[in-house]
């Protein structure tokens, strides 16, 4: 069985002959979390905008299940591929959070019962119970972003694209987004992140696709990809700080296979114990 | 605010002009036969005051005139009148329900249409430098006078356009986050929203 | 935004914006002084060398297109159907009941060349004047600084709000808003598209007004400008030339009247056919380009 989301030889040329993407191939299966990394202007947003048809390929194909993204409207594809925009102000227009959550479901013509069920589910997920009647613009930016994300999740798309989900979020907001991503993964959704937040990528311990100048430079587990220093330099990326720290400490016996803070703590404790044992032995 | 322009006005008028301008691309994407290029005028007239609405109208046509087609400049008169009418209807309580808003838009549409034709006839001999001119020419060829042809050709578009302009401004003001409006109370009164809230409270 | 300003270093570019504004006004004055197609035509033609010398030929030809549609309709439709003046004086009998009338053609030709000459003068002004300089010129003319600022910031705001509108359209389509739904649905879609645009613009306006306060925008006293302009010898020479022309034109008008030479059928026919030819050139150019686009 082939993967749910398939990108075949995708090339995109913007008007004015600006080549934004060149021969990209990519397969993403159910339950995968993929972080698309690259500097601003590398083509990562151009790539993910093909998934829900906001952009159409100049050459090549994008398949969402058995739908060719070239041949369907954004509205239709969006039922399969949810795209959460960076700034939720761009989609907020209804006077209450509840109506915002319902809007997408109403657009795809669900019946009242299903809509209510779905709204309840996302409300619980983001703990929005107390603010359902509030005007979204009276919320703080963390909450507003969560409402934006919840309103897309209510459509229950198979694929969810998150554009810079943690930018401008406070700590609690980032943590919640991480939890939601993990939960979506467990439910078999595909989550695609476009982000500069390396710590988030490290903590999620997910697959990473690196784009630079419209070309795919790397594709693999974060742990492996972040070790290729030459490639990272070419793409102007920095691995998560803990990883750099671990690498700097290898002479002290720290294993450089560390990706998250938690792992680093474990590693530190292990090395410390070894050290103490060594000291005990010598004395 | 009387002697000196407040910075809010100084910032709001360019935004109104930009909205007038950008309206075109939204209408184009939805493939609707409208312009909605008075939307910023009406909004500013209601939010800032009638004369700021007029200022928005005049500057809009000046800016578009200076950048794309100068033939639009004389039609600033129409935009200004639409702004004034928008304010007047708002003041008279026409922005309290959809039927009233549509009625206000319809009256404005008739006036704007007549005024637009008058400008076109006096300044450009009955044309306006737009696609609809071809229809005007066709109507003249069928034996109508130039003024009547221009009016017939432009009326349906203008009429519908003003109704929807009013409706969009009305709908948006109703959901506008209160804290962004400088004179929120007055505007909510004009929209008949305080009453609505009280009813909701009772129901709850 | 794409204001039509074309960078350059020509004589026209170096003139003070105020000089150029006076120039546009004097052209408007000229063409309204007389009711004579020959005169209007000469004014239009005499502007063309300035277009050429300022290096604006290509952008000018591109933008003048839409004026020709207007002019084409005016001269043709008025010539055929306008019942003004002496209807029996026919210039060109097409069919039994279709003919170009002499008096109506005069009206059409005068209107046409008026529009072309004012249009050309305005384009010359816009294409050779940087928006910032325009704002400064207005300030020099004692237009309140705030008004000049509004015009200037509009030029900056339009592309920003335009980009915002594009993002909003994408964001709502991502919530399954169907741009190809039926007409009534699409009218309803106006709200989800306009509302976020209004609200985000408002938020921007609030920020902007605070920024303005922080930078002392409402402080009283004279304001200075980064781009300084001075009226130099060039401007005085140009203004003198305009003044002389204006004087001559006004004298002529007073002595001879609105019509300079008797208007012959030949003049009118040349105007009509001339406009038709230019229009058809544009039309075939347009046709050729769209065909080529389809093929490529």
Residues A232 and A246 in one domain: no
Q: Which of A95, A107, A115, A153 to mutate to test the interface with C (most CBs of C within 10 A)?
A: A107
Q: Say yes or no: B202 contacts chain A, CB-CB below 8 A.
A: no
ipTM, 2 dp = 0.88
Residue C71 belongs to a domain: yes
Q: Does C174 contact A74 at a Cβ distance shorter than 8 Å?
A: yes
Give the least confident one: A41-50, C90-99, C189-198: C90-99
pLDDT at B199: 41
Q: By percentage, how much of chain B surpasses pLDDT 70?
A: 92
pLDDT per position as a tens digit, A106-150: 999 899 999 999 999 999 999 999 999 998 988 988 899 999 999
Spacing of C-alpha A95 from chain mean position: 28
Residue C24 belongs to a domain: yes
Q: Which of C173, C176, C181, C193 to mutate to test the interface with A (most CBs of A within 10 A)?
A: C176
Q: Does B177 contact A94 at a Cβ distance shorter than 8 Å?
A: no
Q: Does B14 contact C166 at a Cβ distance shorter than 8 Å?
A: no
Out of C154, C179, C197, closest to residue B63 by CB: C154
Domain that residue C46 falls in: 11-130+230-295
Chain C closest CA to B99's CA: distance in Å?
Answer: 16
Cα–Cα distance for residue pair C113/C169, rounded to 1 Å? 42
Question: Chain B residue closest to C120 (CA)?
Answer: B70
Interface residues of A toward C, Cβ cutoff 8 Å, are 49, 52, 54, 73-76, 78-79, 82-85, 87, 89-93, 103-104, 107-108, 137, 151-152, 155
Question: Chain C residue closest to B20 (CA)?
Answer: C158
Residues C166 and C25 in one domain: no
Residues A21 and A158 in one domain: yes
Residues A143 and A222 in one domain: yes
pLDDT per position as a tens digit, C227-261: 666 677 888 888 888 889 888 888 888 888 777 77
Out of C173, C176, C191, closest to residue A93 by CB: C191
Domain that residue A140 falls in: 5-236
Contacts of A75 in chain C (CB under 8 A): 173, 176-180
B141-154 CB burial, b ≥16 within 10 A, e <16: eeebebbebbbebb
Cα–Cα distance for residue pair A174/A171, rounded to 1 Å? 5
Residue C222 belongs to a domain: no
Residues C243 and C126 in one domain: yes
Residues C125 and C142 in one domain: no
Q: Does A93 contact B175 at a Cβ distance shorter than 8 Å?
A: yes
Residue B68 has pLDDT above 80, yes or no: no
Residues C162 and C259 in one domain: no
Residues A228 and A260 in one domain: no
Chain A closest CA to C179's CA: distance in Å?
Answer: 8
Span A39-44, average pLDDT: 92
Residues C60 and C200 in one domain: no
Q: At A113, which CATH number?
A: 3.40.50.300
Residues A226 and A253 in one domain: no
pLDDT at A251: 86
Contact map slice: A 103-162 vs B, CB within 8 A: 135, 137-138
Residue B3 has pLDDT above 50, yes or no: no
Residue A269 has pLDDT above 70, yes or no: yes
Cα–Cα distance for residue pair B202/C70, rounded to 1 Å? 60
> B2-193 domain in CATH 1.10.1760.20?
yes
Residue among A200, A207, A209 at smallest CA distance from A261: A200
Span C91-95, average pLDDT: 81
Question: Chain A residue closest to B179 (CA)?
Answer: A138
Residues C148 and C202 in one domain: yes
Residues A143 and A156 in one domain: yes
pLDDT per position as a tens digit, A7-34: 999 999 998 788 899 999 999 999 999 9
Number of domains in chain C: 2
Question: Chain B residue closest to A99 (CA)?
Answer: B175
Q: What is the dihedral of CA C244, C250, C254, C257, to 10 degrees?
A: 120
pLDDT-derived band at C135 (thresholds 50, 70, 90) equals confident
Q: Does A152 contact C168 at a Cβ distance shorter than 8 Å?
A: no
Residues A125 and A256 in one domain: no
CB-based contacts of A167-173 (< 8 A; 24+ apart in sequence)? A167/A86, A167/A195, A167/A196, A167/A197, A168/A141, A168/A142, A169/A141, A169/A142, A169/A145, A170/A142, A172/A142, A173/A142, A173/A145, A173/A146
What's the pTM value of the predicted model, to 2 decimals? 0.84
Residues A139 and A246 in one domain: no
Residues C262 and C193 in one domain: no
Residues C186 and C209 in one domain: yes
Residue C19 belongs to a domain: yes
Residues A138 and A206 in one domain: yes
Question: Residue C194: CB partners within 8 Å, gap ≥ 6?
Answer: B23, B26, B39, B168, B172
Chain B closest CA to A246's CA: distance in Å?
Answer: 49
**Domain-wise residue ranges, chain B:** 2-193
pLDDT per position as a tens digit, A194-243: 999 999 999 999 999 999 999 999 999 999 999 899 999 999 999 999 99
Residues C209 and C263 in one domain: no
Residues A211 and A279 in one domain: no
User: Which domain-ending residue is among C158, C189, C214?
Assistant: C214
Residues A166 and A263 in one domain: no
Residues C70 and C177 in one domain: no
Residue C190 has pLDDT above 50, yes or no: yes
A276, containing H or E segment: helix A261-282
Chain A closest CA to B133's CA: distance in Å?
Answer: 31
Span A255-276, average pLDDT: 88
Residue C2 has pLDDT above 60, yes or no: no
Residues C125 and C268 in one domain: yes
pLDDT at A74: 92
Residue A46 has pLDDT above 90, yes or no: yes
Residues C190 and C277 in one domain: no
Spacing of C-alpha B39 from chain mean position: 5
Residue C2 belongs to a domain: no
Span A68-73, average pLDDT: 92
Q: Does C173 contact A108 at a Cβ distance shorter than 8 Å?
A: no
Q: By percentage, how much of chain A surpasses pLDDT 70?
A: 100
Number of domains in chain A: 2
User: Which domain-ending residue is among C170, C189, C214?
Assistant: C214
């Amino acid at each position: 069985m082939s993967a749910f989301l398939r990108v075949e030889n995708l090339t995109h040329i913007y008007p004015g002959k600006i080549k934004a993407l060149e021969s990209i191939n990519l397969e993403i299966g159910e339950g995968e979390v993929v972080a698309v990394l690259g500097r601003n202007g590398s083509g990562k947003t151009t790539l993910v905008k093909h998934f829900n048809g906001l952009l159409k390929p100049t050459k090549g194909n994008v398949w969402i299940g058995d739908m060719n993204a070239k041949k369907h409207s954004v509205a239709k594809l969006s039922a399969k591929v949810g795209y959460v925009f960076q700034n939720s102000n761009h989609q907020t227009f209804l006077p209450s959070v509840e109506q915002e959550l319902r809007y997408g479901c109403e657009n795809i013509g669900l019946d009242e019962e299903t809509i209510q069920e779905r709204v309840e589910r996302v409300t619980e997920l983001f703990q929005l119970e107390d603010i359902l009647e509030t005007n979204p613009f009276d919320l703080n930016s963390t909450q507003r972003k969560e409402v934006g994300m919840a309103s897309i999740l209510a459509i229950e798309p198979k694929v969810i694209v998150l554009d810079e989900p943690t930018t401008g979020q406070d700590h609690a907001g980032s943590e919640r987004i991480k939890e939601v991503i993990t939960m979506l993964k467990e439910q078999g959704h595909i989550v695609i992140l476009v982000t500069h937040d390396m710590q988030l990528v490290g903590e999620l311990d997910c697959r990473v696709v690196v784009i630079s100048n419209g070309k795919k430079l790397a594709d693999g587990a974060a742990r492996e990809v972040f070790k290729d220093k030459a490639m990272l330099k070419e793409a102007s990326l920095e691995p998560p700080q803990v990883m750099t720290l671990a690498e700097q400490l290898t002479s002290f016996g720290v294993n450089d296979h560390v990706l998250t803070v938690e792992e680093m703590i474990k590693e530190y404790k292990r090395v410390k114990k070894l050290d103490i044992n060594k000291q005990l032995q010598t004395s | 605010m009387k002697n000196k322009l407040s910075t809010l006005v100084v910032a709001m008028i360019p935004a109104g002009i930009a909205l007038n301008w950008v309206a075109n691309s939204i209408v184009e994407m939805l493939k609707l036969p409208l312009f909605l290029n008075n939307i910023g005028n009406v909004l500013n007239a209601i939010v800032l005051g009638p004369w700021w609405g007029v200022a928005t109208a005049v500057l809009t046509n000046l800016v578009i005139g200076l950048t794309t087609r100068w033939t639009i400049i004389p039609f600033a008169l129409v935009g200004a009148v639409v702004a004034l009418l928008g304010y007047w209807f708002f003041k008279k309580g026409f922005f309290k329900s959809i039927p009233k808003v549509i009625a206000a838009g319809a009256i404005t549409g008739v006036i704007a249409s007549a005024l637009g034709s008058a400008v076109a006839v006096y300044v450009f001999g009955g044309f306006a430098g737009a696609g609809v001119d071809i229809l005007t020419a066709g109507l003249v060829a069928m034996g109508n006078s130039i003024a009547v042809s221009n009016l017939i050709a432009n009326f349906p578009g203008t009429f519908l356009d003003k109704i929807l302009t009013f409706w969009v401004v009305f709908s948006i003001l109703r959901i506008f986050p209160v804290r962004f409006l400088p004179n929120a109370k007055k505007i909510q009164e004009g929209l008949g929203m305080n009453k609505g809230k009280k009813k909701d409270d009772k129901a709850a | 935004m794409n204001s039509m300003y074309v960078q350059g270093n020509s004589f026209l570019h170096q003139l003070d914006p105020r000089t150029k504004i006076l120039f546009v006004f004097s052209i408007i004055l000229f063409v309204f002084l007389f009711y004579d197609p020959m005169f209007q035509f000469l004014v239009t033609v005499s502007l063309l060398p300035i277009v050429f010398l300022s290096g604006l030929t290509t952008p000018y030809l591109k933008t003048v297109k839409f004026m020709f549609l207007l002019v084409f309709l005016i001269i043709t439709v008025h010539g055929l159907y306008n019942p003004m003046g002496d209807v029996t004086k026919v210039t060109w009998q097409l069919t039994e009941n279709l003919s170009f009338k002499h008096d109506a053609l005069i009206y059409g030709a005068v209107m046409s060349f008026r529009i072309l000459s004012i249009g050309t003068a305005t384009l010359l002004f816009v294409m050779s004047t940087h928006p910032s300089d325009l704002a400064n010129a207005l300030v020099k003319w004692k237009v309140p600084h705030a008004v000049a600022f509004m015009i200037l910031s509009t030029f900056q705001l339009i592309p920003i709000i335009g980009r915002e509108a594009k993002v909003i359209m994408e964001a709502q389509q991502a919530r399954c808003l169907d741009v190809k739904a039926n007409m009534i649905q699409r009218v309803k879609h106006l709200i989800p598209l306009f509302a976020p645009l209004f609200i985000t613009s408002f938020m921007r306006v609030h920020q902007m007004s605070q920024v303005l306060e922080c930078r002392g925008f409402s402080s009283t006293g004279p304001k200075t400008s980064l781009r300084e302009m001075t009226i130099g010898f060039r401007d005085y020479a140009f203004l003198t030339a305009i003044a002389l022309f204006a004087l001559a034109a006004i004298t002529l008008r007073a002595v001879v009247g609105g019509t300079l030479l008797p208007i012959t059928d030949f003049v009118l026919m040349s105007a009509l056919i001339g406009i038709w030819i230019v229009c058809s050139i544009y039309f075939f150019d347009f046709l050729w380009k769209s065909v080529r686009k389809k093929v490529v």
